[in-house]
A and B are shown apart, each in its own frame.
Chain A
């Protein structure tokens, strides 16, 4: 209630309007649909009381910081530099709207143009937008974008092949976003060893797009993917989902023929934050620009010929093109993308590489330790993993998670919740901050669980 400057001045203002009561303002609402009873909600609170309640409720949560944690599944328990939130939440950024008036929004516009530059550099493609909601909506809209570009010449009209390693939550988003455009989603198969099945690639010939992830959702990198663009050809879009941090050491898809790259940006800029707000990365080749979703900033000049920035290619967007727009996206995740940009700038190229190396090192150490436990097998032995790897356990993964939870270890993700057939498999994820003692806790916990259940 302390948010309204005119509280207590109602009469003064109503007098100007020639009205008597606040209710008179609502005279155009017919009585039949008026609400006549007060809202059954609690009493207003002060900031102090709200803070106390928030601290109590959120304080009751167990955080990834409280325990050794190996739960990643596409989100990262990162360390975000302190400057990031302090700069991004400056009121001039935090409380601004989409920069429709470029003359007073140069700051955010330039920051987003720089963001586009860093994303483009990271993934190896010429154009990036200002963000999508998350990795899944980015993947879904990459598919609809690719179909708009390729459908005319496609032999398999409206068909898109999606890797069977796409996690079910992402596939569900893809299906919601593509069903209205009458896109048929077919499954791109993989071999037993996790590599893409080249006969399945052959089946994809002449379709609109192929969607794969590198690493896949089990953290495995497949070097045979680097050859598939040549096989599917120019008339089929290769869409690749990435782990953004891995690109500090892994060849970016743009350099092996990807047409559109998408991924989760969260590792740069913000904590896992219960799943949102995070942001989706979206970058593409030149021929997709006019069909891409989302906001794009371009460099231009003002009437004095000075450098200036502005939103551009708006004629793709819903506020101009309405039902013919390339997407309905309006609000995106700009502020989180700004946090990402600040984080990326602080890291610099060598800092990015180091961050990726730290994850790579912890992946190796954890994988080595856990796979040495008798009774535990790697799902993809002999493969290179980044951040995550899956192991097969002697019993249900859900039971292992419960057991380790009691020991105070968040051991990973029960893959049975994604695929029933993998209910004995555990997805273990590390991050740059995984410590030796974290790994030891996981090792001891899993060993003990196996021992107890012999």
Chain B
């Protein structure tokens, strides 16, 4: 069977030259313009881009979209990714000219509205996290980590502690944590988790020392359990002279209940694309603001949004009594991590999202945790009739009564008894019309499925997922190991891709 023939090939259209999308003519004749370019600098042949008309392009990308699965298509229980519904008004807001047609270097009196939103977001994030100052400049979670570790690095240097060369991360940490610290030049010390999947304080005690720069940790952990000894951990790191860094990937679990400030952290990043519903867009854009305690704020990237009381001489602002401005952080600032002021569009979307909850953000976290616990319970406690049919049940990734916004399952028994791996079950779930959970992470849970339902899923969706998973656990193992069966393509050969490295199309050859 060759379904390749039916594929839509962008480079195979044969539209008339330049007819794809008509533009006005240049205001000077082409020949004159070309003659003005020094000969050596002229392009010799055009890139082999597609030649197609608008209807062909629209149909091509619509066809592609039909071969893609988003939250809008169905349940997306991707652990640590917080795949919640993305309110559509947010998309409309960022297309307003007052957002889309703004240059980051326009004078402040042109952008009072944008600055007001920036300021409100800085304040809101600081409030929710117990931090003193927030910057919205980092454009992804990983860049937030990098930025905060850079600030901590400069802080140590200023304190005459530049010799501190090590960053501690638990073995359950997101891969970006060690990667970000390593990019700053730090050596990484990975400490093993305890038997309950939680932080092992004894391991931490033996890891800290005069060379400790920081510890990076997320709470709740990637196993979805709350590190109840976090304050003690912070105490251990602080007394060794290190700083505490909070990976905010799991922030959706705790808003209004506790915060990194109370836990003893010095710096935190937020993933606006997780907690605050900036759409994931197939891999980005994200936004990774960071918040810090006051001793680190002089090192933040520049500028920040600031405000003062409006005075009569000021031009018209946004009628809230304040004048907003870009505030230079000063000579100790690490400078820039993104060339402008961050992903403003993501900031504005997240602002619109947060306004929907306001002071009830706490309810959002409550429902995220409720859904997670409910789903875990449904999965682990099948009805007796169904239980009889299940070959073997998964194990809890962490032996906790309660989990937070996500949880992990280990499919080791199934693999050992029937040769069905976590990956097989994940692929089979795709046949049931849902996205697979995060697979094989954290690595400390063998054959791990990491499941995060978020607050935007109904009880019925959760019931159905549990029931689908039970069905899969009862199915003929051959059916599961050969899954998926109903998707646009069958199981994809990733090894072949890496061996052959076909990273581009030959391109459109017509007209060359």
Looking at the assembled complex, report how far the CB atom of B198 sits from the nearest CB atom of chain A, in whole angstroms: 10
Given A25-B369, A41-B361, A350-B18, A61 contacting B102 (CB threshold 8 A): yes
Known: A54-B352, A324-B182, A352-B49. 17 other contacts (CB 8 A): A1-B356, A1-B363, A28-B404, A49-B355, A54-B96, A58-B96, A93-B65, A94-B86, A97-B435, A274-B99, A274-B102, A276-B344, A276-B345, A277-B345, A352-B46, A355-B23, A361-B33
Q: Is the CB of B68 within 8 A of A312?
A: no
Looking at the assembled complex, report how far the CB atom of B176 sits from the nearest CB atom of chain A, in whole angstroms: 5
Number of residue pairs A-B, CB distance < 8 angstroms: 702
- Tell me if A304 is interfacial: C-beta within 8 Å of chain B: yes
Q: How far is the CA of A349 from the CA of B43 in the complex (A)?
A: 12
Looking at the assembled complex, report how far the CB atom of A166 sits from the nearest CB atom of chain B, in whole angstroms: 11
Q: How far is the CA of A69 from the CA of B117 in the complex (A)?
A: 24
Given A83-B57, A274-B345, A348-B20, A61 contacting B226 (CB threshold 8 A): no
Q: Is the CB of B20 within 8 A of A39?
A: no
Q: Is the CB of A92 within 8 A of B491?
A: no
Looking at the assembled complex, report how far the CB atom of A54 sits from the nearest CB atom of chain B, in whole angstroms: 4
Q: Is the CB of A92 within 8 A of B40?
A: no
- Cβ of B500: which chain A residues have Cβ within 8 Å of it? 298-300
Cβ contact of B377, chosen from A5, A17, A114, A305, cutoff 8 A? A17
Q: Using an 8 Å CB-CB cutoff, how does the interface string of A28-49 with B read, 1 for contact, 0 for none?
A: 1110111100111111110101
Looking at the assembled complex, report how far the CB atom of A281 sits from the nearest CB atom of chain B, in whole angstroms: 13
Q: How far is the CA of A118 from the CA of B86 in the complex (A)?
A: 30
Cβ contact of B493, chosen from A300, A325, A352, A436, cutoff 8 A? A300
Given A38-B359, A345-B52, A96 contacting B282 (CB threshold 8 A): yes
Q: How far is the CA of A22 from the CA of B205 in the complex (A)?
A: 35
Q: List 17 A-B contacts (CB under 8 A).
A: A3-B356, A4-B455, A39-B127, A50-B355, A92-B66, A94-B91, A95-B85, A96-B282, A97-B282, A107-B67, A223-B41, A298-B501, A312-B498, A321-B175, A358-B23, A360-B28, A361-B33
- Cβ of B441: which chain A residues have Cβ within 8 Å of it? 319
- Cβ of A41: which chain B residues have Cβ within 8 Å of it? 124, 127, 354, 358-359, 361
- Closest residue of chain A to B100 (Cβ to Cβ) is A271
Q: Is the CB of B338 within 8 A of A251?
A: no
- Cβ of A43: which chain B residues have Cβ within 8 Å of it? 358-359
- Cβ of B83: which chain A residues have Cβ within 8 Å of it? 95, 97
Q: Using an 8 Å CB-CB cutoff, how does the interface string of B1-38 with A read, 1 for contact, 0 for none?
A: 11110010011000101111101111110100110111
Cβ contact of B458, chosen from A6, A134, A250, A344, cutoff 8 A? A6
- Tell me if A310 is interfacial: C-beta within 8 Å of chain B: yes
- Tell me if A287 is interfacial: C-beta within 8 Å of chain B: no
- Cβ of B369: which chain A residues have Cβ within 8 Å of it? 25-26
State the 6 A-B residue pairs at the shortest beta-carbon distance, nearest first: A275-B340, A335-B281, A91-B72, A58-B98, A350-B18, A107-B68
Q: How far is the CA of A300 from the CA of B496 in the complex (A)?
A: 6
Q: Is the CB of B4 within 8 A of A180?
A: no
Given A95-B71, A106-B67, A6 contacting B282 (CB threshold 8 A): no
Looking at the assembled complex, report how far the CB atom of B128 sits from the nearest CB atom of chain A, in whole angstroms: 7
**Which of A167-175, A199-207, A370-378 is the interface stretch?**
A167-175
- Cβ of A32: which chain B residues have Cβ within 8 Å of it? 231
- Tell me if B386 is interfacial: C-beta within 8 Å of chain A: no
Looking at the assembled complex, report how far the CB atom of A254 sits from the nearest CB atom of chain B, in whole angstroms: 10
- Cβ of A446: which chain B residues have Cβ within 8 Å of it? none
- Tell me if B304 is interfacial: C-beta within 8 Å of chain A: no
Cβ contact of A45, chosen from B92, B356, B371, cutoff 8 A? B356
Output the residue of B143, B174, B356, B378 with the most chain A CB within 10 A. Answer: B356
Given A105-B68, A273-B345, A44 contacting B358 (CB threshold 8 A): yes
- Cβ of B356: which chain A residues have Cβ within 8 Å of it? 1-3, 44-45, 47, 50
- Tell me if A233 is interfacial: C-beta within 8 Å of chain B: no
- Chain B contributes a number of interface residues (CB within 8 A of A) equal to 212
Looking at the assembled complex, report how far the CB atom of B124 sits from the nearest CB atom of chain A, in whole angstroms: 6
- Tell me if B142 is interfacial: C-beta within 8 Å of chain A: yes
Q: Is the CB of B490 within 8 A of A312?
A: no
Q: Is the CB of B49 within 8 A of A345?
A: yes
Q: How far is the CA of A277 from the CA of B346 in the complex (A)?
A: 7
- Cβ of B494: which chain A residues have Cβ within 8 Å of it? 102, 300, 310-312
Q: How far is the CA of A35 from the CA of B365 in the complex (A)?
A: 13
- Chain A residues 63 to 108 lying within 8 A of chain B, measured CB to CB, are 63-65, 69, 71-75, 77, 81, 83, 85, 87-108
- Cβ of B435: which chain A residues have Cβ within 8 Å of it? 97, 101, 104
Q: Using an 8 Å CB-CB cutoff, how does the interface string of A5-25 with B read, 1 for contact, 0 for none?
A: 111011011101100001001
Cβ contact of A34, chosen from B47, B257, B482, B492, cutoff 8 A? B257
Q: Is the CB of A117 within 8 A of B505?
A: yes
Q: How far is the CA of A323 from the CA of B18 in the complex (A)?
A: 47
Looking at the assembled complex, report how far the CB atom of A374 sits from the nearest CB atom of chain B, in whole angstroms: 24
Q: How far is the CA of A325 from the CA of B456 in the complex (A)?
A: 34
Q: Is the CB of A133 within 8 A of B458?
A: no
Q: How far is the CA of A223 from the CA of B50 in the complex (A)?
A: 30
Q: Is the CB of A25 within 8 A of B348?
A: no
**Which of B105-113, B237-245, B469-477 is the interface stretch?**
B105-113
Q: How far is the CA of A77 from the CA of B103 in the complex (A)?
A: 8
- Tell me if B449 is interfacial: C-beta within 8 Å of chain A: no
Q: Is the CB of A95 within 8 A of B21?
A: no
Q: Using an 8 Å CB-CB cutoff, how does the interface string of B116-155 with A read, 1 for contact, 0 for none?
A: 1100000010011000000000011111011000100000
- Cβ of A360: which chain B residues have Cβ within 8 Å of it? 26, 28, 33, 36-37
- Chain A residues 381 to 413 lying within 8 A of chain B, measured CB to CB, are 384, 401, 405, 410, 413
Q: How far is the CA of A367 from the CA of B449 in the complex (A)?
A: 61
- Tell me if B337 is interfacial: C-beta within 8 Å of chain A: yes
- Tell me if A369 is interfacial: C-beta within 8 Å of chain B: no
Q: Is the CB of A75 within 8 A of B103?
A: yes
- Tell me if A444 is interfacial: C-beta within 8 Å of chain B: no
Q: Is the CB of B503 within 8 A of A250?
A: no
Q: Using an 8 Å CB-CB cutoff, how does the interface string of A123-143 with B read, 1 for contact, 0 for none?
A: 000111011011111000000
Cβ contact of B263, chosen from A16, A33, A39, A127, cutoff 8 A? A33
- Tell me if B364 is interfacial: C-beta within 8 Å of chain A: yes
Looking at the assembled complex, report how far the CB atom of A274 sits from the nearest CB atom of chain B, in whole angstroms: 4
Q: How far is the CA of A331 from the CA of B285 in the complex (A)?
A: 7
Q: Is the CB of A310 within 8 A of B338?
A: no
Q: Is the CB of A335 within 8 A of B279?
A: yes
- Tell me if B322 is interfacial: C-beta within 8 Å of chain A: no
Q: Is the CB of A223 within 8 A of B38?
A: yes
- Cβ of B185: which chain A residues have Cβ within 8 Å of it? 179-182
- Closest residue of chain A to B186 (Cβ to Cβ) is A180
Output the residue of B102, B280, B505 with the most chain A CB within 10 A. Answer: B102
Given A113-B504, A126-B504, A176-B335, A60 contacting B112 (CB threshold 8 A): yes
- Tell me if A151 is interfacial: C-beta within 8 Å of chain B: no
Q: Is the CB of B93 within 8 A of A345?
A: no
- Tell me if B417 is interfacial: C-beta within 8 Å of chain A: no
- Tell me if B479 is interfacial: C-beta within 8 Å of chain A: no
Q: Is the CB of A330 within 8 A of B142?
A: yes
Cβ contact of B370, chosen from A6, A173, A296, cutoff 8 A? A6
Q: Using an 8 Å CB-CB cutoff, how does the interface string of B60-90 with A read, 1 for contact, 0 for none?
A: 1111111111111100101001011111010
Looking at the assembled complex, report how far the CB atom of A224 sits from the nearest CB atom of chain B, in whole angstroms: 9
Q: How far is the CA of A417 from the CA of B328 in the complex (A)?
A: 12
Q: Is the CB of A275 within 8 A of B104?
A: yes
Q: Is the CB of B98 within 8 A of A60?
A: yes
Cβ contact of A71, chosen from B87, B103, B336, B340, cutoff 8 A? B103
